[in-house]
Amino acid sequence: MNKRILAVFDGEESYAYRLMDYISERENVPFEIHVFTKADIFLSYAEKEEIECLLISENAYQQEIEKLKIPHIIILSENGTNLNRALCHINKYQSCQNVLREVMEYYTEKAQDTGTVLRVGTKKMHIIGIYTPVGRCLQTTFSLTLGQMLARRGKTLYLNFEAYSGFGRMLGRIFKNDISDLVYYFNCAREKIYYRLESMVESVNGMDFIPPAMIYQSLVGIRGAQWVDLFREIERVSEYEYLILDLSDCLADLWEVLQSCDHIYTIVREDPLAAAKVEQYERALEDMKYGGIISKTKKWRLPVFRQLPLRFEELTYGELAAYIRNEIFPDLFGKKDGE
């Protein structure tokens, strides 16, 4: 893939290089990053090379920049004194992740041809589905902990399909988009899915996630085959090694999605009602010719944990994390493994 040039021009050297380092560390970024801190060096370079996108600080911006015919110019807004509102403005003083997210969102909307992005690595993306018909059994806590621990081994994406996840409140964040928007954009412009993914992805403790649906009814019309198609496209254009699916009955064609998973974990409890629900679930799978799901499902009866972390960022510490390290990892990787 011939990468297009993304130039960062900012007189604040530490900021410019920190931003460059962050973007460069994102695997499979379709841009070649160049940093400039002096106007004469930047102008000389821009006259000879084709820059696809310029990210320039408000203090460094001058009207001569527009004569260079750079297709996409984004101003890093500092104090709001730049009056050229025809250009895109992004708040400079936010996290590098948010800056990159806004750049990707803008570029996806404005660029006619974003070019093709393909997976560079040869490793397969492992899809791990987590689902149980039993309620209140730590499924989401288990899924989030497993995802964050896997993120230490390889690039991991977590998707949550609960009706009401509460993620915004728990993380203290407001999400502009959610997973229903990703599916919409995927259906409208599949060729831009990498950029859409990068413009929506959030992170917690090294694990990437797409915010869950704010209104779960927005997922009702999405069929199982569409989800599987989306997962395969994510594998095709990204470097994710693990895709964690925290599944629920809100998902249409749940069984088709489960069938696409490489590993399935079902958390069970000892009480008679929980056992009866699991038995009915497995009988339904057999009757509907989805018995293959049962054969690749591992049922886990979690021990009683004395205390679980209250914050998502702390889940990789404590009893549940130790349980996953000692019991789940050997099942996934074939041997006792302490990470």
pLDDT at 30: 83
Mean pLDDT of 138-153: 97
Of these ranges, 76-85, 107-116, 172-181, the one predicted with the greatest mean pLDDT is: 172-181
b/e sequence 244-255, b meaning 16+ C-beta within 10 Å: bbbbbebbeebb
β-pairing, 202-204 vs 207-210, is antiparallel
How would DSSP label each residue in 54-106?
EEEETTT--GGGGGG--SEEEEEESSS----TTSEEEESSS-HHHHHHHHHHH
Tens of pLDDT, residue by residue over 15-53, are 999 999 999 888 778 899 999 999 999 999 999 999 999
Rounded distance, CA 75 to CA 58, Å?
6
Tens of pLDDT, residue by residue over 190-242, are 999 999 999 999 999 999 999 999 999 999 999 999 999 999 999 999 999 99
Tens of pLDDT, residue by residue over 238-256, are 999 999 999 999 999 999 9
pLDDT at 286: 97
pLDDT at 2: 67
pLDDT at 120: 78
111 or 294: which leads in pLDDT: 294
Neighbour count for residue 258 (Cβ, 10 Å): 25
